Chains A and B, each alone.
Chain A
Amino acid sequence: MSEVERHSYDVVVIGAGGAGLRAAIEARMQGMRTAVVCKSLFGKAHTVMAEGGIAASMGNVNSNDNWQVHFRDTMRGGKFLNHWRMAELHAQEAPDRVWELETWGALFDRTKDGRISQRNFGGHEYPRLAHVGDRTGLELIRTLQQKIVALQQEDEAEFGDPEARLKVFQEATVTRLLTVPDSGSEAGNRITGAFGYWRESGRFVVFEAPAIVLATGGIGKSFKVTSNSWEYTGDGQALALMAGASLINMEFVQFHPTGMVWPPSVKGILVTESVRGDGGVLTNSEGKRFMFDYIPDVFKEKYAKTEEEGDRWYTDPDNNRRPPELLPRDEVARAINSEVKAGRGTPHGGVYLDVSSRLPADVIRRKLPSMHHQFKELADVDITAEPMEVGPTCHYVMGGIEVDPDTAATPGVLGLYAAGEVAGGMHGSNRLGGNSLSDLLVFGRRAGLYAAEYVAELGDERRDVPQDQIDAAAAEAVGPFNNEGAENPYSVHQELQQTMNDLVGIIRREGEMAEALGRLEELKARAEKAGVEGHRQYNPGWHLAIDLRNMLLVSECIAKAALERTESRGGHTREDHPGMSADWRKVVLACTLADDGGHVDLVRRTPEPMRGDLLALFELDELKKYLTDAELPSAAPSAPDEETN
């Protein structure tokens, strides 16, 4: 094998979304020479698409808000499967992370007294989402990008080289993590670097580093109808799995209730939840606000029973309950699914989402500018004058790489850290809107901090990257050029998306998932024969052929875990097991790479019980809905029978 291009860093961050950029900023501020590697141009990562806002209990709009309330909402949203320690840290640290963005130049929308304005969102008890219209993700990315530029300007002044301590390698895809066995510690492997290719030239590149932060985002491109971009091929999840880490909670996939359904070419593109947070209502073809029929028992006390009460809540939230359009996403998505199935859908198979009859046109244009723009340009629909047609779309994966809640370190692989959507645990079985952007900042920072700490402790100790792994990774990457014409990677991808959509989608059944696993095996065999034409320069067919490995591996995790979990909870709905079971709450399903290297094994883990002071934040009656009797705090007085509200 010819020599490949090499770069040496203290910390290499893979991913330039919110989590990756925040991690890189932190590692660099801790004095580490840091690199960021990403598949697209700097500033274009998926985070840029986030619309509604970033959740942080600053209490600017309703001063009753605090981290405990945010913590409670997060646990409820995730149906208590969340790693409570992550939910705790997240709720505690989110306000500082948002305020910090202002010191780096972010310009959020303001309250009357000049603070950061906060908006309502599904599952959040108080107005909590800091936002900039409906382009909050853009503001987040641009602010972090500009902070990185600021750090580079410092280095320019100090060393005459802006990239002396922080460099972005854009349009490079990592295909393998490089490790050596680590017998000295509990972890099985130790990170030495990463292998990838430049998208532009197709040439290979090796990053040598004792610490790697994975921040590669999600998996939506395995599904046909999705709000996610091409970047979401489950790379980080697969890279970690192949390096010896575990993926947890992979059965929990969030289908956002409101994606565009028409025209077909934009099917799946997101319609932000802010439309509902700002007053939009869901109706079926009979004109009925159907969400009132779908309030589940666990939420009965928290949501309005009548349209009148729901409508009053927007102006008087202290004395009214919120409308059920703002239930957590899994509930709303299932309700829409049922309405369409019952024949009460719109002409294009969705339901109506209407703000035009609820807010004046100029307010809609000001509060929801990109939605206005998006529908006008892509669907010829003026949302200030007519309703939108919407339906569920694959949006977010709650599952992900298992991490230590405090340090974001990955058990099993020394020197590997993960943060953002690629990491699992924080959101349990269902993520609340706005809790991802805050998650990126809180745990991105922690990953960068602890990766830096780890490298500092290592001192000058470095392990060589094993040449045989580099050679194997290179051979694997060029594989598709040797399979000339055998299988079209685009066809394999389309069939994978159809399979996951139809058989492991929003409503799941045992037989269908078993069938999906069978089809995934066939697709894996075909993917190995996927061939590409042309050269290695910017060749999208080749890139897809390489990505298929990751998508198939991650899809197998999802299907296997979903088949195993015989209950319904959050982003996992079993038609054959519709109830939620307290016994299953005590089970975390973890996927590891099987010995053959091409499959995954499923193991059951028992989560750590929640700390007493956190349990005490809930009423006993509420805990009873989620926990087994044995888990209930024994000393707690039993709650009075009547409603306490």
Chain B
Amino acid sequence: MSYKANFRVWRGDVDSGELRDYTVEVNEGEVVLDIIHRLQATQAPDLAVRWNCKAGKCGSCSAEINGRPRLLCMTRMSTFSAEETITVTPMRTFPVVRDLVTDVSFNYTKARQVPSFTPPEGLKAGEYRMEQVDVERSQEFRKCIECFLCQNTCHVIRDFEDNKPAFSGPRYLMRIAELDMHPLDVADRQKAAQEEHGLGYCNITKCCTDVCPEHIKITDNALIPMKERVADRKYDPLVWLGDKILRRGKTQ
């Protein structure tokens, strides 16, 4: 059940680029990444794309398909009709390197700004005791494959480049929540989440949750509880949030 599909793929680099049209064979059961590979092997040997596992486990192949942030290797061709033109573009929030490959160093910089796991002093290796129920919440966040699709989607940085220095994005706010909820972490995470990583910028739109290929409930399980924890410590996030929105409203 092969057919010829119409693909439009963004080709270019930092300086310039364009959508280029291709007609390419599609076979039963294939995913978008298979088609990109077929283009490489038959029509565009220098088409740049990142991928590793081809099984949704490494988070390398993030891009936008018909404008929606997705993993190329987990998007089945059967979700499109044979007539549809499928447009593949690089993640928009990060600078383009070439074709579908973007410069994601922003994320590595942010990762480095989150202080590491801090166990209680004197607790020796082999002596850690934790209940399954107590580790489950953090385990959910550790399912993250660092595809950066949530980072790409969050309007706080997608639409406002200037926010990048002050806002770590859902992936790293969730990392802070993960450590805050780790049964044996002793560091104080809440103040830093608000003051250094921009938790307050998040206005819980849940767009990050919607695109997460691991189906992690980023907003409900990480960001909102984190906001509540911060609020309990006498920050008033609603007032603060209101301020933010008003201010943004004024400057626009």
Which A residues form the contact surface with B (CB < 8 A)? 40-46, 48-49, 95-96, 99-100, 102-105, 107, 109-110, 113-115, 117, 132-133, 135, 137-139, 142, 146-147, 149-150, 152-153, 156, 162, 200, 229-231, 262-266, 269-270, 370, 373-374, 377-379, 488-490, 532-535, 537-542
Assess whether A230 is in contact with B52, with CB atoms less than 8 Å apart.
yes
Which of A105, A142, A378 lies at the interface centre, i.e. has the most chain B CB atoms within 10 A of its CB?
A: A105
In Å, the complex CA distance between A105 and B178 comes to 10
Which B residues form the contact surface with A (CB < 8 A)? 13, 27-31, 34, 40-41, 45-60, 74, 76, 97-99, 101, 104, 108, 111-112, 115-117, 119, 123, 125-126, 128-132, 135, 138-139, 142-146, 179, 182
25 sampled A-B residue pairs with Cβ under 8 A = A40-B52, A44-B58, A99-B125, A100-B125, A103-B119, A103-B125, A109-B132, A138-B142, A138-B145, A146-B116, A150-B116, A150-B117, A153-B112, A200-B101, A229-B52, A229-B54, A230-B52, A264-B30, A374-B56, A377-B76, A378-B74, A490-B40, A537-B48, A538-B99, A541-B46
In Å, the complex CA distance between A187 and B189 comes to 52
B104: A residues at CB distance < 8 A: 41
Known contacts A107-B130, A200-B98; 6 further A-B pairs (Cβ under 8 A) = A40-B50, A103-B123, A114-B130, A138-B57, A229-B54, A266-B29
Closest to A227 in B: B55
A539: B residues at CB distance < 8 A: 45-46, 48
Assess whether B125 is in contact with A262, with CB atoms less than 8 Å apart.
no
Assess whether B59 is in contact with A44, with CB atoms less than 8 Å apart.
yes
B29: A residues at CB distance < 8 A: 262-266, 378-379
Among B48, B51, B57, B119, point to the contact of A370 (Cβ < 8 A): B57
Assess whether A377 is in contact with B74, with CB atoms less than 8 Å apart.
yes
Taking the nearest CB of chain A, how far is it from the CB of B44, in angstroms?
A: 9
A117: B residues at CB distance < 8 A: 132
B55: A residues at CB distance < 8 A: 49, 266, 269-270, 374, 378
Assess whether B46 is in contact with A535, with CB atoms less than 8 Å apart.
yes
Assess whether A534 is in contact with B52, with CB atoms less than 8 Å apart.
no
Among B27, B60, B98, B179, point to the contact of A44 (Cβ < 8 A): B60
B132: A residues at CB distance < 8 A: 109-110, 117
Among B30, B45, B111, point to the contact of A263 (Cβ < 8 A): B30
Assess whether B139 is in contact with A132, with CB atoms less than 8 Å apart.
yes
B146: A residues at CB distance < 8 A: 43-44
A147: B residues at CB distance < 8 A: 116
Assess whether A540 is in contact with B139, with CB atoms less than 8 Å apart.
no
Assess whether B126 is in contact with A49, with CB atoms less than 8 Å apart.
no
In Å, the complex CA distance between A105 and B74 comes to 29
Which of B45, B48, B101, B143 lies at the interface centre, i.e. has the most chain A CB atoms within 10 A of its CB?
A: B45
Which of B30, B55, B143 lies at the interface centre, i.e. has the most chain A CB atoms within 10 A of its CB?
A: B55
Taking the nearest CB of chain B, how far is it from the CB of A248, in angstroms?
A: 28
Assess whether A49 is in contact with B48, with CB atoms less than 8 Å apart.
no
Taking the nearest CB of chain A, how far is it from the CB of B210, in angstroms?
A: 16
In Å, the complex CA distance between A348 and B69 comes to 33
B99: A residues at CB distance < 8 A: 538
B135: A residues at CB distance < 8 A: 107, 109-110
Taking the nearest CB of chain B, how far is it from the CB of A585, in angstroms?
A: 36
In Å, the complex CA distance between A139 and B117 comes to 14
B182: A residues at CB distance < 8 A: 105, 107
Count A-B pairs with CB separation below 8 Å: 171
A162: B residues at CB distance < 8 A: 112
In Å, the complex CA distance between A200 and B49 comes to 11
3 cross-chain pairs, A with B, having the tightest CB-CB distances, nearest first? A263-B29, A105-B117, A541-B45
- The SS class assigned to the B binding surface is loop
A541: B residues at CB distance < 8 A: 40, 45-46
Assess whether A114 is in contact with B52, with CB atoms less than 8 Å apart.
no
Closest to B112 in A: A149
Taking the nearest CB of chain B, how far is it from the CB of A17, in angstroms?
A: 11
Assess whether B58 is in contact with A152, with CB atoms less than 8 Å apart.
no
Assess whether B117 is in contact with A540, with CB atoms less than 8 Å apart.
no
B54: A residues at CB distance < 8 A: 229, 266, 269
Taking the nearest CB of chain B, how far is it from the CB of A37, in angstroms?
A: 16
Given the contacts A46-B52, A107-B142, A146-B116, A40 and B129 also touching, CB distance less than 8 Å: no
In Å, the complex CA distance between A265 and B31 comes to 8
In Å, the complex CA distance between A528 and B148 comes to 39
A102: B residues at CB distance < 8 A: 125, 128
Given the contacts A44-B52, A370-B57, A114 and B129 also touching, CB distance less than 8 Å: yes
B52: A residues at CB distance < 8 A: 40, 44-46, 48, 229-231
Assess whether B31 is in contact with A378, with CB atoms less than 8 Å apart.
yes
In Å, the complex CA distance between A542 and B40 comes to 11
B53: A residues at CB distance < 8 A: 46, 48-49, 229
Assess whether A146 is in contact with B117, with CB atoms less than 8 Å apart.
yes
Among B27, B76, B138, point to the contact of A107 (Cβ < 8 A): B138
Closest to A534 in B: B46
In Å, the complex CA distance between A254 and B32 comes to 30
A378: B residues at CB distance < 8 A: 29, 31, 55, 74, 76
Given the contacts A96-B125, A153-B112, A378-B76, A540 and B40 also touching, CB distance less than 8 Å: yes
A99: B residues at CB distance < 8 A: 125-126, 128
Among B40, B101, B116, B143, point to the contact of A105 (Cβ < 8 A): B116
In Å, the complex CA distance between A269 and B116 comes to 34
In Å, the complex CA distance between A368 and B98 comes to 37
In Å, the complex CA distance between A102 and B185 comes to 11
B41: A residues at CB distance < 8 A: 488, 490
Assess whether A490 is in contact with B45, with CB atoms less than 8 Å apart.
yes
Taking the nearest CB of chain B, how far is it from the CB of A530, in angstroms?
A: 11
Taking the nearest CB of chain B, how far is it from the CB of A493, in angstroms?
A: 9
In Å, the complex CA distance between A542 and B48 comes to 11
Closest to A154 in B: B116
In Å, the complex CA distance between A40 and B97 comes to 14
Taking the nearest CB of chain B, how far is it from the CB of A156, in angstroms?
A: 8
Among A43, A48, A142, point to the contact of B142 (Cβ < 8 A): A142
A103: B residues at CB distance < 8 A: 119, 123, 125, 128
Given the contacts A40-B60, A41-B104, A153-B112, A540 and B142 also touching, CB distance less than 8 Å: no
In Å, the complex CA distance between A480 and B74 comes to 33
Assess whether A138 is in contact with B143, with CB atoms less than 8 Å apart.
yes
Assess whether B46 is in contact with A152, with CB atoms less than 8 Å apart.
no
A138: B residues at CB distance < 8 A: 57, 142-143, 145
B101: A residues at CB distance < 8 A: 200, 538
In Å, the complex CA distance between A44 and B145 comes to 9
A135: B residues at CB distance < 8 A: 57, 143
B139: A residues at CB distance < 8 A: 107, 109, 132-133
In Å, the complex CA distance between A225 and B116 comes to 40
Assess whether B112 is in contact with A538, with CB atoms less than 8 Å apart.
no
Closest to B48 in A: A538
Taking the nearest CB of chain B, how far is it from the CB of A550, in angstroms?
A: 18
Taking the nearest CB of chain A, how far is it from the CB of B91, in angstroms?
A: 13
In Å, the complex CA distance between A138 and B45 comes to 31
Assess whether A115 is in contact with B34, with CB atoms less than 8 Å apart.
no
In Å, the complex CA distance between A488 and B41 comes to 8
